[in-house]
Amino acid sequence: MTRDGEKSLQGVESSAAPWDRLDLRLELRPGKMTALVGPSREEKSTCARLLERFYEPQCGEILLDGQPLKFMSSASCTGRLGPEPKKDVSAARIKPNAGCSLEDIQETARRANAHDFISQLESGYDTEVGEGGGQLANSEKQRIAIARALVRKPKVLILDEITSSLDTDSENKVQQALTTDPDQTLLVIAQRLKTMERAHHIVVIGGGKVQEQGTDAELMELKGTYYKLREKLFAE
């Protein structure tokens, strides 16, 4: 059971994963950033795919606000941004075609730290960006991709290291802005130290199970799997 507003994966198993069983229980809290961490990228990605309903769990259930996710529209519940922003900036213009007011679009652009540079373009939000956003820098593509995801207002936003092309100041602003919506849950597939350190809650996954979970400071004190992973990343 989960309290109202919480998202959880309970006892999930899946034959679509590259192992026989994925058996885990965790909660994702609205208004917070949860980072999935582990040596194997595949396990973290499988958790995200379950939330996106690419396939259904064989047993157990995924709850969204206390209700089974399988009875809901995945398009309205979850959104995902990957590490290649050009895939998320495929429209001809910056302004999305979705039925959103310009006020909503500008607000989400501000949260993504994109409004200022968009406003300086000759045609503003009607600027032609070319195929795959070819006329934009990678950092600009990432900020527009984030804004487009936010304007759809998904309850769960899955982020796959989507701030990797941003400078430190922009990354700080974006990550702070992403946690300002108390009703939105952020799930980050984390591979960088900065992302792990900024997460409110860290879940270490290995062997299809939750091995450790807590804050960065709590997990470092344990000197377990997370500690070793962080030491390895720091060395690299």
pLDDT in tens, 23-57: 788 888 888 889 999 876 667 888 888 888 877 77
Which one is predicted more confidently, 76 or 210? 210
Give which of 200, 202, 188 is closest to 230, Cα–Cα: 202
Taking the C-alpha atoms of residue 101 and residue 56, their distance in angstroms, rounded to an integer, is 35
Task: Return phi, psi of residue 136, to 5°.
Answer: -110, 155
What pTM was computed for the model? Answer: 0.77
Read off the pLDDT of each residue in 129-148 and give the average, rounded to a whole number.
Answer: 77
What average pLDDT does the structure give for the chain?
A: 77
Write a three-state SS string for 67-91.
EEHHHCCHHHHEEEECCCHHHHCCC
- Contacts of residue 35, defined as CB under 8 A and 6 or more positions apart, other chains included, come to 188, 189, 190, 195, 196, 199, 201, 202, 203
Report the helix count and the strand count for the chain, using DSSP H and E. 9, 10
pLDDT band of residue 194 (cuts 50, 70, 90) is confident
Question: Domain residue spans in the chain?
Answer: 29-235
**How is residue 223 written in tokens?**
């000197």
Whether the per-residue pLDDT at 229 is higher than 70: the answer is yes
CATH architecture of 29-235: 3-Layer(aba) Sandwich (3.40)
Instruction: Quote the pLDDT of residue 20.
Output: 47
Read off the pLDDT of each residue in 97-122 and give the average, rounded to a whole number.
Answer: 85
Taking the C-alpha atoms of residue 194 and residue 139, their distance in angstroms, rounded to an integer, is 17
Instruction: Quote the pLDDT of residue 12.
Output: 58
